[in-house]
Structure 1
Protein backbone atom coordinates (compact mmCIF):
# COMPACT_ATOMS: atom_id res chain seq x y z
CA UNK A 1 0.00 0.00 0.00
CA UNK A 2 2.76 2.40 0.98
CA UNK A 3 4.85 1.37 -2.03
CA UNK A 4 1.96 2.00 -4.41
CA UNK A 5 1.42 5.48 -2.94
CA UNK A 6 5.12 6.33 -3.30
CA UNK A 7 5.18 5.17 -6.91
CA UNK A 8 2.07 7.20 -7.68
CA UNK A 9 3.58 10.25 -6.03
CA UNK A 10 6.77 9.82 -8.03
CA UNK A 11 4.80 9.57 -11.25
CA UNK A 12 2.89 12.70 -10.33
CA UNK A 13 6.13 14.62 -9.85
CA UNK A 14 7.43 13.41 -13.17
CA UNK A 15 4.18 14.36 -14.89
CA UNK A 16 4.50 17.98 -13.68
CA UNK A 17 7.67 19.43 -15.20
CA UNK A 18 9.36 22.32 -13.45
CA UNK A 19 9.13 25.72 -15.02
CA UNK A 20 12.56 26.89 -15.89
CA UNK A 21 13.58 30.50 -16.10
CA UNK A 22 14.71 32.17 -19.29
CA UNK A 23 18.24 30.91 -18.77
CA UNK A 24 21.48 32.50 -19.86
CA UNK A 25 20.62 32.27 -23.54
CA UNK A 26 17.27 33.99 -23.06
CA UNK A 27 18.83 36.72 -20.94
CA UNK A 28 21.51 37.38 -23.53
CA UNK A 29 18.89 37.47 -26.26
CA UNK A 30 16.84 40.01 -24.34
CA UNK A 31 19.85 42.25 -23.71
CA UNK A 32 20.81 41.94 -27.38
CA UNK A 33 17.53 43.66 -28.25
CA UNK A 34 17.33 46.09 -25.31
CA UNK A 35 21.04 46.85 -24.92
CA UNK A 36 21.55 49.21 -27.89
CA UNK A 37 18.48 51.28 -27.01
CA UNK A 38 19.56 51.40 -23.37
CA UNK A 39 23.00 52.66 -24.35
CA UNK A 40 21.47 55.34 -26.55
CA UNK A 41 19.15 56.54 -23.76
CA UNK A 42 21.96 56.61 -21.21
CA UNK A 43 24.31 58.29 -23.64
CA UNK A 44 21.82 61.01 -24.56
CA UNK A 45 20.52 61.73 -21.05
CA UNK A 46 22.73 60.59 -18.20
CA UNK A 47 26.12 61.47 -19.69
CA UNK A 48 25.19 65.05 -20.73
CA UNK A 49 23.67 65.65 -17.28
CA UNK A 50 26.87 64.57 -15.52
CA UNK A 51 29.02 66.55 -17.93
CA UNK A 52 26.85 69.64 -17.42
CA UNK A 53 27.49 69.43 -13.68
CA UNK A 54 31.25 69.61 -14.24
CA UNK A 55 30.74 72.50 -16.67
CA UNK A 56 28.69 74.35 -14.03
CA UNK A 57 31.83 74.54 -11.85
CA UNK A 58 33.88 76.23 -14.57
CA UNK A 59 34.13 79.49 -16.45
CA UNK A 60 33.95 78.49 -20.11
CA UNK A 61 32.86 80.03 -23.38
CA UNK A 62 32.90 76.76 -25.34
CA UNK A 63 36.12 77.60 -27.20
CA UNK A 64 38.93 78.43 -24.79
CA UNK A 65 40.22 76.16 -22.07
CA UNK A 66 37.67 75.97 -19.20
CA UNK A 67 38.74 77.57 -15.91
CA UNK A 68 37.77 75.74 -12.74
CA UNK A 69 36.13 78.23 -10.34
CA UNK A 70 34.53 75.83 -7.88
CA UNK A 71 31.07 76.81 -6.60
CA UNK A 72 31.22 80.48 -7.57
CA UNK A 73 28.60 80.07 -10.30
CA UNK A 74 26.15 78.72 -7.74
CA UNK A 75 26.97 81.55 -5.32
CA UNK A 76 26.06 84.09 -8.01
CA UNK A 77 22.56 82.63 -8.44
CA UNK A 78 21.18 84.45 -5.40
CA UNK A 79 22.62 87.79 -6.62
CA UNK A 80 21.44 87.69 -10.25
CA UNK A 81 18.52 90.12 -10.87
CA UNK A 82 17.90 88.70 -14.34
CA UNK A 83 17.50 85.21 -12.88
CA UNK A 84 15.09 86.56 -10.26
CA UNK A 85 13.00 88.21 -12.98
CA UNK A 86 13.04 85.02 -15.07
CA UNK A 87 11.93 83.04 -12.00
CA UNK A 88 9.01 85.44 -11.48
CA UNK A 89 7.94 85.07 -15.11
CA UNK A 90 8.18 81.28 -14.81
CA UNK A 91 6.06 81.26 -11.66
CA UNK A 92 3.48 83.50 -13.35
CA UNK A 93 3.30 81.21 -16.38
CA UNK A 94 2.95 78.16 -14.12
CA UNK A 95 0.24 79.81 -12.02
CA UNK A 96 -1.72 80.70 -15.16
CA UNK A 97 -1.15 77.52 -17.14
CA UNK A 98 -1.53 74.65 -14.66
CA UNK A 99 -4.97 75.44 -13.13
CA UNK A 100 -6.33 76.47 -16.53
CA UNK A 101 -5.17 73.28 -18.23
CA UNK A 102 -6.60 71.12 -15.41
CA UNK A 103 -9.98 72.88 -15.43
CA UNK A 104 -10.25 72.98 -19.22
CA UNK A 105 -9.19 69.35 -19.56
CA UNK A 106 -11.79 68.23 -17.01
CA UNK A 107 -14.59 70.20 -18.69
CA UNK A 108 -13.68 68.99 -22.19
CA UNK A 109 -13.32 65.39 -21.01
CA UNK A 110 -16.76 65.54 -19.39
CA UNK A 111 -18.24 66.78 -22.66
CA UNK A 112 -16.41 64.12 -24.69
CA UNK A 113 -17.64 61.39 -22.34
CA UNK A 114 -21.20 61.81 -23.60
CA UNK A 115 -22.78 59.43 -26.12
CA UNK A 116 -23.32 61.69 -29.13
CA UNK A 117 -22.82 61.37 -32.85
CA UNK A 118 -19.31 61.86 -34.29
CA UNK A 119 -17.79 61.64 -30.81
CA UNK A 120 -14.66 60.00 -32.24
CA UNK A 121 -14.17 62.94 -34.59
CA UNK A 122 -14.50 65.44 -31.75
CA UNK A 123 -12.00 63.54 -29.61
CA UNK A 124 -9.52 63.51 -32.49
CA UNK A 125 -9.89 67.26 -33.04
CA UNK A 126 -9.13 67.93 -29.37
CA UNK A 127 -6.01 65.76 -29.37
CA UNK A 128 -4.49 66.91 -32.70
CA UNK A 129 -2.99 70.18 -31.32
CA UNK A 130 -1.12 68.17 -28.68
CA UNK A 131 0.44 65.97 -31.36
CA UNK A 132 1.57 68.99 -33.39
CA UNK A 133 4.99 70.38 -32.47
CA UNK A 134 5.15 73.40 -30.20
CA UNK A 135 7.39 75.16 -32.72
CA UNK A 136 4.76 74.97 -35.46
CA UNK A 137 2.10 76.02 -32.96
CA UNK A 138 4.15 79.08 -32.01
CA UNK A 139 4.75 80.08 -35.63
CA UNK A 140 1.04 79.77 -36.43
CA UNK A 141 0.08 81.71 -33.30
CA UNK A 142 2.45 84.49 -34.31
CA UNK A 143 0.29 85.12 -37.38
CA UNK A 144 -3.00 84.72 -35.53
CA UNK A 145 -2.07 87.26 -32.83
CA UNK A 146 -0.21 89.67 -35.10
CA UNK A 147 -1.25 93.25 -34.16
CA UNK A 148 -1.45 94.44 -37.80
CA UNK A 149 -3.01 91.61 -39.81
CA UNK A 150 -3.76 88.89 -37.26
CA UNK A 151 -7.03 87.02 -37.24
CA UNK A 152 -7.87 87.84 -33.62
CA UNK A 153 -7.63 91.60 -34.15
CA UNK A 154 -9.75 91.28 -37.28
CA UNK A 155 -12.49 89.66 -35.20
CA UNK A 156 -12.18 92.41 -32.59
CA UNK A 157 -12.57 95.08 -35.29
CA UNK A 158 -15.69 93.43 -36.66
CA UNK A 159 -17.38 93.38 -33.25
CA UNK A 160 -16.44 97.02 -32.59
CA UNK A 161 -13.61 96.46 -30.07
CA UNK A 162 -10.19 98.15 -30.31
CA UNK A 163 -7.29 96.03 -31.61
CA UNK A 164 -4.71 94.78 -29.13
CA UNK A 165 -0.93 94.43 -29.25
CA UNK A 166 -0.94 90.92 -27.79
CA UNK A 167 2.60 89.49 -28.06
CA UNK A 168 4.09 92.97 -28.48
CA UNK A 169 2.62 94.31 -25.23
CA UNK A 170 4.57 93.48 -22.03
CA UNK A 171 1.32 93.39 -20.05
CA UNK A 172 -0.40 90.96 -22.43
CA UNK A 173 2.42 88.82 -23.80
CA UNK A 174 2.57 86.26 -20.97
CA UNK A 175 -1.20 85.80 -20.96
CA UNK A 176 -1.19 85.21 -24.72
CA UNK A 177 1.67 82.72 -24.38
CA UNK A 178 -0.37 80.88 -21.76
CA UNK A 179 -3.39 80.78 -24.10
CA UNK A 180 -1.24 79.37 -26.90
CA UNK A 181 0.25 76.78 -24.56
CA UNK A 182 -3.25 75.79 -23.44
CA UNK A 183 -4.34 75.29 -27.03
CA UNK A 184 -1.46 72.90 -27.57
CA UNK A 185 -1.52 71.06 -24.23
CA UNK A 186 -5.18 70.79 -23.24
CA UNK A 187 -5.56 67.70 -25.43
CA UNK A 188 -3.29 65.76 -23.05
CA UNK A 189 -5.28 66.53 -19.90
CA UNK A 190 -8.53 65.92 -21.76
CA UNK A 191 -7.47 62.42 -22.82
CA UNK A 192 -6.21 61.60 -19.32
CA UNK A 193 -9.44 62.75 -17.70
CA UNK A 194 -11.52 61.00 -20.35
CA UNK A 195 -9.85 57.70 -19.55
CA UNK A 196 -10.39 58.31 -15.83
CA UNK A 197 -14.07 59.17 -16.31
CA UNK A 198 -14.65 55.92 -18.16
CA UNK A 199 -13.19 54.03 -15.18
CA UNK A 200 -15.57 55.57 -12.64
CA UNK A 201 -17.83 52.74 -11.35
CA UNK A 202 -21.28 53.03 -12.89
CA UNK A 203 -22.81 51.53 -9.75
CA UNK A 204 -21.91 54.64 -7.73
CA UNK A 205 -23.48 56.98 -10.27
CA UNK A 206 -26.62 54.86 -10.56
CA UNK A 207 -26.98 54.67 -6.78
CA UNK A 208 -26.67 58.44 -6.47
CA UNK A 209 -29.22 58.91 -9.26
CA UNK A 210 -31.68 56.59 -7.52
CA UNK A 211 -31.22 58.60 -4.30
CA UNK A 212 -32.33 61.71 -6.19
CA UNK A 213 -29.00 63.53 -6.49
CA UNK A 214 -28.69 66.12 -9.24
CA UNK A 215 -26.10 65.84 -12.01
CA UNK A 216 -23.94 68.53 -10.43
CA UNK A 217 -24.16 66.83 -7.02
CA UNK A 218 -23.20 63.50 -8.60
CA UNK A 219 -20.21 65.08 -10.30
CA UNK A 220 -19.08 66.92 -7.16
CA UNK A 221 -19.63 64.13 -4.64
CA UNK A 222 -19.08 60.97 -6.70
CA UNK A 223 -17.08 61.65 -9.86
CA UNK A 224 -14.70 64.32 -8.62
CA UNK A 225 -13.30 62.27 -5.69
CA UNK A 226 -12.58 59.43 -8.12
CA UNK A 227 -10.52 61.84 -10.24
CA UNK A 228 -8.17 62.99 -7.46
CA UNK A 229 -5.24 60.70 -8.39
CA UNK A 230 -5.53 61.75 -12.03
CA UNK A 231 -5.70 65.41 -11.01
CA UNK A 232 -2.53 64.99 -8.98
CA UNK A 233 -0.72 63.33 -11.87
CA UNK A 234 -1.88 65.95 -14.37
CA UNK A 235 -0.88 68.78 -12.02
CA UNK A 236 2.66 67.48 -11.64
CA UNK A 237 2.97 66.82 -15.37
CA UNK A 238 1.67 70.24 -16.39
CA UNK A 239 3.85 71.97 -13.80
CA UNK A 240 6.94 70.33 -15.28
CA UNK A 241 5.69 71.32 -18.76
CA UNK A 242 5.33 74.96 -17.70
CA UNK A 243 8.74 75.05 -16.01
CA UNK A 244 10.43 73.62 -19.11
CA UNK A 245 8.53 75.60 -21.75
CA UNK A 246 11.03 76.87 -24.32
CA UNK A 247 10.18 76.19 -27.96
CA UNK A 248 6.86 78.04 -27.81
CA UNK A 249 8.51 81.14 -26.33
CA UNK A 250 11.37 80.90 -28.82
CA UNK A 251 9.02 80.90 -31.81
CA UNK A 252 6.69 83.63 -30.53
CA UNK A 253 8.37 86.29 -28.38
CA UNK A 254 12.02 85.19 -27.87
CA UNK A 255 11.69 86.36 -24.28
CA UNK A 256 10.29 89.78 -25.17
CA UNK A 257 8.91 92.33 -25.24
CA UNK A 258 11.24 93.90 -22.68
CA UNK A 259 12.04 90.43 -21.27
CA UNK A 260 8.44 90.08 -20.04
CA UNK A 261 8.26 86.43 -21.21
CA UNK A 262 11.82 85.43 -20.41
CA UNK A 263 11.48 82.22 -18.40
CA UNK A 264 14.29 80.33 -16.67
CA UNK A 265 14.71 77.89 -19.56
CA UNK A 266 14.96 80.70 -22.09
CA UNK A 267 17.39 82.51 -19.79
CA UNK A 268 19.58 79.39 -19.78
CA UNK A 269 19.48 79.41 -23.59
CA UNK A 270 20.59 83.04 -23.71
CA UNK A 271 23.43 82.43 -21.25
CA UNK A 272 24.73 79.32 -23.00
CA UNK A 273 24.25 80.07 -26.69
CA UNK A 274 24.11 83.86 -27.01
CA UNK A 275 26.44 85.25 -24.36
CA UNK A 276 28.58 82.06 -24.31
CA UNK A 277 28.55 81.79 -20.50
CA UNK A 278 28.27 78.03 -20.50
CA UNK A 279 29.38 77.48 -16.91
CA UNK A 280 26.87 79.87 -15.39
CA UNK A 281 24.14 78.66 -17.74
CA UNK A 282 24.73 75.06 -16.59
CA UNK A 283 24.48 76.19 -12.95
CA UNK A 284 21.10 77.84 -13.63
CA UNK A 285 19.94 74.68 -15.41
CA UNK A 286 20.90 72.57 -12.40
CA UNK A 287 19.00 74.96 -10.13
CA UNK A 288 15.87 74.45 -12.24
CA UNK A 289 16.42 70.69 -12.15
CA UNK A 290 16.74 70.71 -8.35
CA UNK A 291 13.58 72.79 -7.93
CA UNK A 292 11.60 70.55 -10.28
CA UNK A 293 12.85 67.39 -8.58
CA UNK A 294 12.10 68.75 -5.11
CA UNK A 295 8.61 69.89 -6.09
CA UNK A 296 7.77 66.53 -7.68
CA UNK A 297 9.12 64.59 -4.69
CA UNK A 298 7.07 66.68 -2.25
CA UNK A 299 3.88 66.18 -4.23
CA UNK A 300 4.44 62.42 -4.51
CA UNK A 301 5.25 62.16 -0.80
CA UNK A 302 2.15 64.15 0.13
CA UNK A 303 -0.07 62.05 -2.14
CA UNK A 304 1.20 58.75 -0.78
CA UNK A 305 0.81 59.95 2.78
CA UNK A 306 -2.82 60.87 2.10
CA UNK A 307 -3.45 57.56 0.33
CA UNK A 308 -4.02 59.05 -3.14
CA UNK A 309 -1.23 57.43 -5.09
CA UNK A 310 -1.03 58.61 -8.69
CA UNK A 311 2.47 57.38 -9.53
Structure 2
Protein backbone atom coordinates (compact mmCIF):
# COMPACT_ATOMS: atom_id res chain seq x y z
CA UNK A 1 0.00 0.00 0.00
CA UNK A 2 1.57 3.30 -1.07
CA UNK A 3 2.39 5.78 1.66
CA UNK A 4 1.00 9.27 1.14
CA UNK A 5 2.91 12.13 2.71
CA UNK A 6 0.84 15.13 3.74
CA UNK A 7 2.24 18.40 2.39
CA UNK A 8 4.04 20.45 4.99
CA UNK A 9 2.09 23.67 5.26
CA UNK A 10 4.14 25.15 8.07
CA UNK A 11 6.64 26.98 5.81
CA UNK A 12 3.76 28.61 3.90
CA UNK A 13 2.03 29.65 7.08
CA UNK A 14 5.27 31.03 8.48
CA UNK A 15 5.91 32.92 5.23
CA UNK A 16 2.40 34.45 5.33
CA UNK A 17 2.89 35.33 8.98
CA UNK A 18 6.24 36.98 8.23
CA UNK A 19 4.72 38.90 5.32
CA UNK A 20 1.89 40.13 7.51
CA UNK A 21 4.33 41.21 10.21
CA UNK A 22 6.45 43.05 7.66
CA UNK A 23 3.42 44.92 6.28
CA UNK A 24 2.41 45.85 9.82
CA UNK A 25 5.70 47.70 10.25
CA UNK A 26 5.85 49.12 6.71
CA UNK A 27 2.21 50.20 6.28
CA UNK A 28 2.48 53.49 8.29
CA UNK A 29 5.32 54.68 6.04
CA UNK A 30 3.44 53.53 2.92
CA UNK A 31 0.33 55.41 4.01
CA UNK A 32 2.37 58.55 4.65
CA UNK A 33 4.00 58.33 1.22
CA UNK A 34 0.64 57.81 -0.47
CA UNK A 35 -1.13 60.51 1.55
CA UNK A 36 1.56 63.19 1.41
CA UNK A 37 3.28 62.32 -1.87
CA UNK A 38 1.44 60.29 -4.48
CA UNK A 39 -2.13 61.51 -3.77
CA UNK A 40 -1.27 65.26 -3.87
CA UNK A 41 0.79 64.69 -7.02
CA UNK A 42 -2.10 63.03 -8.81
CA UNK A 43 -4.57 65.63 -7.53
CA UNK A 44 -2.38 68.49 -8.77
CA UNK A 45 -2.10 66.78 -12.17
CA UNK A 46 -5.89 66.72 -12.45
CA UNK A 47 -5.99 70.29 -11.13
CA UNK A 48 -3.70 71.46 -13.93
CA UNK A 49 -6.47 70.65 -16.44
CA UNK A 50 -9.08 72.65 -14.50
CA UNK A 51 -10.00 76.25 -13.81
CA UNK A 52 -9.95 76.14 -10.02
CA UNK A 53 -9.71 78.90 -7.43
CA UNK A 54 -9.83 76.48 -4.45
CA UNK A 55 -13.15 78.00 -3.38
CA UNK A 56 -15.80 77.68 -6.08
CA UNK A 57 -16.53 74.47 -8.03
CA UNK A 58 -13.84 73.69 -10.60
CA UNK A 59 -14.34 73.64 -14.35
CA UNK A 60 -12.55 71.33 -16.80
CA UNK A 61 -10.54 73.32 -19.35
CA UNK A 62 -8.21 70.68 -20.78
CA UNK A 63 -4.92 72.09 -22.10
CA UNK A 64 -5.97 75.74 -21.85
CA UNK A 65 -3.79 76.34 -18.79
CA UNK A 66 -0.72 75.01 -20.63
CA UNK A 67 -1.56 77.07 -23.73
CA UNK A 68 -1.87 80.18 -21.55
CA UNK A 69 1.54 79.52 -20.02
CA UNK A 70 3.18 79.60 -23.43
CA UNK A 71 1.71 83.06 -24.09
CA UNK A 72 2.18 84.46 -20.57
CA UNK A 73 5.08 86.98 -20.46
CA UNK A 74 5.24 86.73 -16.67
CA UNK A 75 5.84 82.98 -16.87
CA UNK A 76 8.42 83.54 -19.61
CA UNK A 77 10.24 86.00 -17.36
CA UNK A 78 10.12 83.51 -14.47
CA UNK A 79 11.64 80.85 -16.73
CA UNK A 80 14.42 83.22 -17.85
CA UNK A 81 15.21 84.22 -14.26
CA UNK A 82 15.32 80.57 -13.22
CA UNK A 83 17.62 79.68 -16.11
CA UNK A 84 19.99 82.57 -15.31
CA UNK A 85 20.03 81.53 -11.66
CA UNK A 86 20.70 77.89 -12.58
CA UNK A 87 23.34 78.56 -15.26
CA UNK A 88 25.36 80.71 -12.86
CA UNK A 89 24.77 78.93 -9.56
CA UNK A 90 25.43 75.31 -10.57
CA UNK A 91 28.87 75.63 -12.22
CA UNK A 92 30.10 78.28 -9.79
CA UNK A 93 29.12 76.19 -6.76
CA UNK A 94 30.88 73.13 -8.20
CA UNK A 95 34.05 74.99 -9.19
CA UNK A 96 34.30 76.84 -5.88
CA UNK A 97 33.48 73.67 -3.96
CA UNK A 98 36.17 71.67 -5.74
CA UNK A 99 38.76 74.42 -5.34
CA UNK A 100 38.10 74.77 -1.62
CA UNK A 101 38.02 70.99 -1.17
CA UNK A 102 41.44 70.68 -2.82
CA UNK A 103 42.81 73.33 -0.46
CA UNK A 104 41.23 71.79 2.64
CA UNK A 105 42.47 68.34 1.65
CA UNK A 106 46.01 69.44 2.44
CA UNK A 107 47.73 69.08 5.78
CA UNK A 108 47.33 72.59 7.10
CA UNK A 109 46.90 73.94 10.59
CA UNK A 110 43.33 74.09 11.98
CA UNK A 111 41.99 72.33 8.89
CA UNK A 112 39.13 70.82 10.94
CA UNK A 113 37.95 74.30 11.94
CA UNK A 114 38.08 75.49 8.34
CA UNK A 115 36.04 72.52 7.16
CA UNK A 116 33.41 73.20 9.81
CA UNK A 117 33.21 76.87 8.86
CA UNK A 118 32.75 75.94 5.22
CA UNK A 119 29.87 73.58 5.96
CA UNK A 120 28.15 75.73 8.61
CA UNK A 121 26.27 78.00 6.14
CA UNK A 122 24.70 74.95 4.49
CA UNK A 123 23.09 73.97 7.80
CA UNK A 124 21.39 77.36 8.13
CA UNK A 125 17.95 77.38 6.53
CA UNK A 126 17.36 79.55 3.47
CA UNK A 127 14.71 81.46 5.41
CA UNK A 128 17.22 82.43 8.09
CA UNK A 129 19.77 83.31 5.43
CA UNK A 130 17.25 85.54 3.70
CA UNK A 131 16.43 87.41 6.91
CA UNK A 132 20.13 87.80 7.73
CA UNK A 133 21.13 89.16 4.34
CA UNK A 134 18.05 91.39 4.16
CA UNK A 135 19.47 93.27 7.14
CA UNK A 136 23.04 93.23 5.84
CA UNK A 137 22.08 94.44 2.35
CA UNK A 138 19.46 96.97 3.37
CA UNK A 139 20.14 100.01 1.14
CA UNK A 140 19.69 102.54 3.97
CA UNK A 141 20.72 100.86 7.21
CA UNK A 142 22.64 97.77 6.06
CA UNK A 143 26.22 96.94 6.95
CA UNK A 144 27.20 96.46 3.28
CA UNK A 145 26.49 100.04 2.24
CA UNK A 146 28.09 101.30 5.44
CA UNK A 147 31.32 99.54 4.47
CA UNK A 148 31.09 100.88 0.93
CA UNK A 149 30.68 104.38 2.33
CA UNK A 150 33.80 103.98 4.50
CA UNK A 151 35.71 102.83 1.40
CA UNK A 152 34.55 105.90 -0.51
CA UNK A 153 32.31 103.92 -2.88
CA UNK A 154 28.76 104.80 -3.87
CA UNK A 155 25.94 102.89 -2.14
CA UNK A 156 24.24 100.06 -3.97
CA UNK A 157 20.62 98.99 -4.18
CA UNK A 158 21.38 95.28 -3.86
CA UNK A 159 18.04 93.51 -3.40
CA UNK A 160 16.07 96.65 -4.33
CA UNK A 161 17.83 97.17 -7.67
CA UNK A 162 16.25 95.26 -10.60
CA UNK A 163 19.65 94.95 -12.26
CA UNK A 164 21.38 93.52 -9.18
CA UNK A 165 18.78 91.61 -7.19
CA UNK A 166 18.99 88.27 -9.02
CA UNK A 167 22.79 88.22 -8.95
CA UNK A 168 22.77 89.10 -5.26
CA UNK A 169 20.49 86.11 -4.64
CA UNK A 170 22.94 83.92 -6.55
CA UNK A 171 25.74 85.19 -4.34
CA UNK A 172 23.75 84.39 -1.19
CA UNK A 173 23.02 80.91 -2.51
CA UNK A 174 26.70 80.34 -3.26
CA UNK A 175 27.55 81.31 0.31
CA UNK A 176 25.55 78.35 1.58
CA UNK A 177 25.42 75.95 -1.37
CA UNK A 178 29.16 75.78 -1.91
CA UNK A 179 29.67 74.25 1.53
CA UNK A 180 27.74 71.14 0.53
CA UNK A 181 29.94 70.68 -2.54
CA UNK A 182 33.05 71.13 -0.40
CA UNK A 183 32.04 68.38 2.00
CA UNK A 184 31.08 65.94 -0.78
CA UNK A 185 34.26 66.60 -2.74
CA UNK A 186 36.36 66.26 0.41
CA UNK A 187 34.87 62.83 1.06
CA UNK A 188 35.51 61.83 -2.56
CA UNK A 189 39.11 63.07 -2.46
CA UNK A 190 39.76 60.75 0.46
CA UNK A 191 38.83 57.82 -1.81
CA UNK A 192 41.25 58.68 -4.62
CA UNK A 193 43.82 55.84 -4.59
CA UNK A 194 47.16 57.27 -3.37
CA UNK A 195 48.97 54.68 -5.48
CA UNK A 196 47.64 56.29 -8.67
CA UNK A 197 48.78 59.73 -7.55
CA UNK A 198 52.23 58.44 -6.61
CA UNK A 199 52.54 56.55 -9.91
CA UNK A 200 51.67 59.67 -11.87
CA UNK A 201 54.24 61.71 -9.95
CA UNK A 202 56.91 59.07 -10.49
CA UNK A 203 56.18 59.26 -14.22
CA UNK A 204 56.95 62.98 -14.09
CA UNK A 205 53.42 64.39 -13.96
CA UNK A 206 53.10 67.83 -12.42
CA UNK A 207 50.42 68.98 -10.00
CA UNK A 208 48.08 70.16 -12.75
CA UNK A 209 48.55 66.94 -14.75
CA UNK A 210 47.82 64.80 -11.67
CA UNK A 211 44.68 66.83 -11.05
CA UNK A 212 43.53 66.60 -14.67
CA UNK A 213 44.35 62.98 -15.46
CA UNK A 214 44.03 61.25 -12.07
CA UNK A 215 41.95 63.23 -9.56
CA UNK A 216 39.21 64.66 -11.78
CA UNK A 217 38.40 61.34 -13.53
CA UNK A 218 38.11 59.72 -10.09
CA UNK A 219 35.64 62.44 -9.05
CA UNK A 220 33.36 61.99 -12.09
CA UNK A 221 30.58 60.02 -10.32
CA UNK A 222 30.52 62.56 -7.48
CA UNK A 223 30.47 65.45 -9.94
CA UNK A 224 27.50 63.95 -11.78
CA UNK A 225 25.65 63.61 -8.48
CA UNK A 226 26.43 67.20 -7.50
CA UNK A 227 25.36 68.54 -10.89
CA UNK A 228 22.00 66.80 -10.59
CA UNK A 229 21.60 67.83 -6.94
CA UNK A 230 22.45 71.49 -7.54
CA UNK A 231 20.24 71.59 -10.64
CA UNK A 232 17.26 70.38 -8.64
CA UNK A 233 18.02 72.84 -5.83
CA UNK A 234 18.37 75.80 -8.20
CA UNK A 235 15.25 75.01 -10.23
CA UNK A 236 13.24 74.69 -7.01
CA UNK A 237 14.52 77.81 -5.23
CA UNK A 238 11.71 79.54 -3.36
CA UNK A 239 12.44 80.25 0.31
CA UNK A 240 15.21 82.75 -0.36
CA UNK A 241 13.13 84.65 -2.93
CA UNK A 242 10.05 84.71 -0.70
CA UNK A 243 11.92 86.07 2.32
CA UNK A 244 14.09 88.66 0.56
CA UNK A 245 12.44 90.11 -2.54
CA UNK A 246 8.99 88.52 -3.00
CA UNK A 247 9.78 88.24 -6.70
CA UNK A 248 10.65 91.91 -7.06
CA UNK A 249 11.75 94.47 -7.80
CA UNK A 250 9.68 94.61 -10.99
CA UNK A 251 9.64 90.82 -11.27
CA UNK A 252 13.42 90.63 -11.66
CA UNK A 253 13.70 87.76 -9.16
CA UNK A 254 10.46 85.91 -9.88
CA UNK A 255 11.42 82.26 -10.39
CA UNK A 256 9.20 79.38 -11.45
CA UNK A 257 8.36 78.07 -7.98
CA UNK A 258 7.55 81.57 -6.74
CA UNK A 259 5.38 82.05 -9.83
CA UNK A 260 3.52 78.84 -8.93
CA UNK A 261 2.99 80.10 -5.37
CA UNK A 262 1.69 83.44 -6.65
CA UNK A 263 -0.82 81.78 -8.95
CA UNK A 264 -2.07 79.32 -6.33
CA UNK A 265 -2.18 81.42 -3.17
CA UNK A 266 -2.06 85.06 -4.25
CA UNK A 267 -4.25 85.28 -7.33
CA UNK A 268 -6.11 82.01 -6.52
CA UNK A 269 -5.71 80.50 -9.98
CA UNK A 270 -4.70 77.12 -8.61
CA UNK A 271 -5.21 75.23 -11.87
CA UNK A 272 -2.91 77.63 -13.69
CA UNK A 273 -0.30 77.31 -10.96
CA UNK A 274 -0.52 73.51 -11.06
CA UNK A 275 0.14 73.58 -14.79
CA UNK A 276 3.27 75.69 -14.21
CA UNK A 277 4.37 73.24 -11.51
CA UNK A 278 4.06 70.31 -13.91
CA UNK A 279 6.06 72.15 -16.53
CA UNK A 280 8.82 72.43 -13.93
CA UNK A 281 8.42 68.76 -13.00
CA UNK A 282 8.72 67.75 -16.66
CA UNK A 283 11.89 69.85 -17.00
CA UNK A 284 13.42 68.19 -13.92
CA UNK A 285 12.55 64.74 -15.27
CA UNK A 286 14.10 65.50 -18.66
CA UNK A 287 17.28 66.81 -17.01
CA UNK A 288 17.57 63.74 -14.77
CA UNK A 289 17.08 61.34 -17.67
CA UNK A 290 19.55 63.25 -19.85
CA UNK A 291 22.25 63.20 -17.16
CA UNK A 292 21.68 59.50 -16.58
CA UNK A 293 21.97 58.75 -20.32
CA UNK A 294 25.14 60.82 -20.64
CA UNK A 295 26.65 59.06 -17.64
CA UNK A 296 25.73 55.63 -18.99
CA UNK A 297 27.16 56.50 -22.40
CA UNK A 298 30.37 57.71 -20.79
CA UNK A 299 30.63 54.48 -18.79
CA UNK A 300 30.19 52.32 -21.92
CA UNK A 301 32.80 54.27 -23.90
CA UNK A 302 35.34 53.76 -21.14
TM-score over 0.5 for the pair: yes
Measured in 2, the distance between the counterparts of 1:129 and 1:165 equals 24
Query: Which residue is 1:106 aligned to?
Result: 98
CA shift digits 1:184-223 (9 cap, x unpaired): 2111111111111111110111112222322222112211
CA separation of 1:293 and 1:145: change in aligned 2, threshold 3 A:
same
1:67 is aligned to 2:67:
no
Aligned length: 289
TM-score normalised by L of structure 1: 0.89
Question: Which consecutive unaligned segments of at least 5 residues does structure 2 have?
Answer: 1-11
Of the three residues 96, 107, 129, the one matched with 1:137 is: 129
Give 1:293's aligned residue: 285
CA distance in 1, matches of 2:185, 2:21: 39
Q: 96, 100, 121: which one pairs with 2:113?
A: 121
Tell me the residue number matched to 1:177.
169
The alignment status of 1:150 with 2:129, answered yes or no, reads: no
After superposition, the C-alpha distances for 1:138-196 in whole angstroms (9 at most, x for unaligned) are: 11011111111222222222222222111011111011000111112111111111111
**TM-score relative to the length of structure 2:** 0.91
1:79 aligns with 2:71: yes
Q: 2:153 aligns with which of 143, 151, 161?
A: 161
Matches within 5 A, 1:180-195: 180-195=172-187
SS at match of 1:76: helix
Shift of 1:119: 2.3
Q: Cα distance, 1:273 vs. partner? A: 0.4
Specify whether residues 29 and 114 from structure 1 end up closer, same or farther in structure 2 by C-alpha distance, changes over 3 A only. Answer: farther
Deviation at 1:308, TM superposition (A): 7.8
> Aligned pair 1:32/2:36, yes or no?
no
- Which residue, out of 235, 239, 242, partners 1:243? 235
The DSSP-based 3-state class of the residue aligned with 2:162 is: coil
Shift of 1:284: 0.7
Quote the RMSD (CA, aligned, Å): 1.7
Q: Distance in 2 between matches of 1:233 and 1:257?
A: 34
Contact persistence 1:138–1:248 (CA under 8 A): yes
Q: Distance in 2 between matches of 1:123 and 1:33?
A: 39
Q: Does 1:232 align with 2:224?
A: yes
Tell me what 1:258 maps to. 250
Q: Which runs of 5+ in 1 are unaligned?
A: 1-19
Distance 1:119 1:30, change over 3 A: farther
